[in-house]
């Protein structure tokens, strides 16, 4: 018996179960949407009782928030992987990576943005912070492209770009109000970034034009 902190058999099982529950919950949200997530379904699919879910997560919101937390983390990891050599390409890359991630995990992203807590409890700060950090990834390339702009303006611009791109993608993928065929979304996003950068006085990559070359 060594004294190094070691996981007991109990703790290992508990940990595996926890992972299992989260995995199942994520699968259900991803496939059928947050509104279709039920404790009983999770418990059954995870091969345990509903009590165990409560044992591990306190309440059902705990499960949802864990999934959402991991969703931001995965998104952030993907965004961090965008090459940063060229700031213009980086901005395109961030937008396209967001699109790809959103398209692949639409219901997970919706869960992240739409989940409301019970009885007005506040949304966990760490998750909000991670979302902020994620779109702060636009700051460095923007600073490089607009060396004269101060921090406040960069921050505002990055919020604008994020919200705009988010709006185009989320309404676009919904296919309800704004009927854009999914295969055109990428083109639409590229066009958007192109035009917006041009408006900032930055020459874009000129992809998928309107027949109008920005800053020709």
The 182-201 site mask, x for binding a second copy (CB under 8 A), equals --x---x--xx-xxxxxxxx
Instruction: Indicate which of a second copy, DNA, none lies near residue 118 (CB less than 5 to 8 Å, by partner kind).
Output: DNA
147 C-beta neighbours (distance < 10 Å), count: 7
Residues that bind DNA (CB under 7 A): 8-11, 13-14, 17, 37-40, 48-52, 54-56, 59-61, 118
Please give, one letter per residue, the 3-state secondary structure of the chain: CCCCCCCCHHHHHHHHHHHHHHHHHHHHHHHHCHHHCCHHHHHHHHCCCHHHHHHHHCCHHHHHHHHHHHHHHHHHHHHHCCCCCCHHHHHHHHHHHHHHHHHHCHHHHHHHHHCCCHHHCCCCHHHHHHHHHHHHHHHHHHHHHCCCCCHHHHHHHHHHHHHHHHHHHHHHHHCCCCCCCHHHHHHHHHHHHHHHHHHCCCCCCCCCCCCCCCCC
Cα distances from 80 to residues 11, 66, 76, 101, 176, in angstroms, run 33, 21, 6, 13, 31
Nearer residue to DNA within complex by CB, 31 or 210: 31
The reply on whether position 121 binds a second copy by CB under 8 A is no
Q: Smallest gap, in angstroms, from Cβ of residue 41 to DNA?
A: 8
Q: Which of 62, 167, 182, 206 binds a second copy (CB under 8 A)?
A: 167
The 125-164 site mask, x for binding a second copy (CB under 8 A), equals ---x--xx--x----------x-xx---x--xx-xx-xxx
Q: Smallest gap, in angstroms, from Cβ of residue 69 to DNA?
A: 17
Q: Which of 19, 77, 104, 178 binds a second copy (CB under 8 A)?
A: 178
Q: Smallest gap, in angstroms, from Cβ of residue 57 to DNA?
A: 8
Q: Smallest gap, in angstroms, from Cβ of residue 39 to a second copy?
A: 19
Chain residues in the site for a second copy (CB under 8 A): 35, 113-114, 116, 123, 128, 131-132, 135, 146, 148-149, 153, 156-157, 159-160, 162-168, 170-172, 176-180, 184, 188, 191-192, 194-201, 210-212, 214-216
């Amino acid at each position: 018996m060594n004294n190094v902190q070691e996981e007991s058999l109990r703790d290992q099982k508990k940990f595996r179960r926890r992972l299992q529950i989260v995995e199942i919950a994520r699968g259900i949200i991803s496939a059928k949407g947050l509104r279709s997530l039920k404790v009983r379904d999770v418990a059954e699919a995870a091969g345990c009782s509903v009590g165990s879910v409560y044992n591990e997560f306190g309440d059902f919101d705990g499960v949802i928030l864990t999934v959402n937390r991991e969703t931001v983390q995965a998104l952030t990891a993907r965004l961090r992987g965008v090459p940063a050599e060229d700031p213009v390409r980086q901005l395109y890359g961030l937008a396209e990576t967001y699109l790809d991630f959103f398209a692949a995990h639409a219901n997970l992203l919706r869960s992240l943005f739409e989940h409301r807590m019970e009885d007005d409890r506040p949304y966990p700060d760490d998750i909000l912070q991670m979302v902020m950090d994620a779109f702060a990834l636009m700051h460095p390339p923007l600073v490089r492209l607009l060396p004269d702009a101060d921090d406040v303006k960069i921050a505002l611009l990055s919020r604008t770009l994020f919200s705009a791109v988010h709006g185009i993608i989320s309404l676009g993928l919904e296919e309800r109000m704004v009927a854009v065929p999914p295969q055109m979304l990428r083109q639409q996003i590229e066009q958007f970034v192109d035009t917006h950068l041009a408006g900032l006085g930055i020459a874009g990559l000129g992809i998928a034009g309107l027949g109008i070359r920005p800053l020709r």
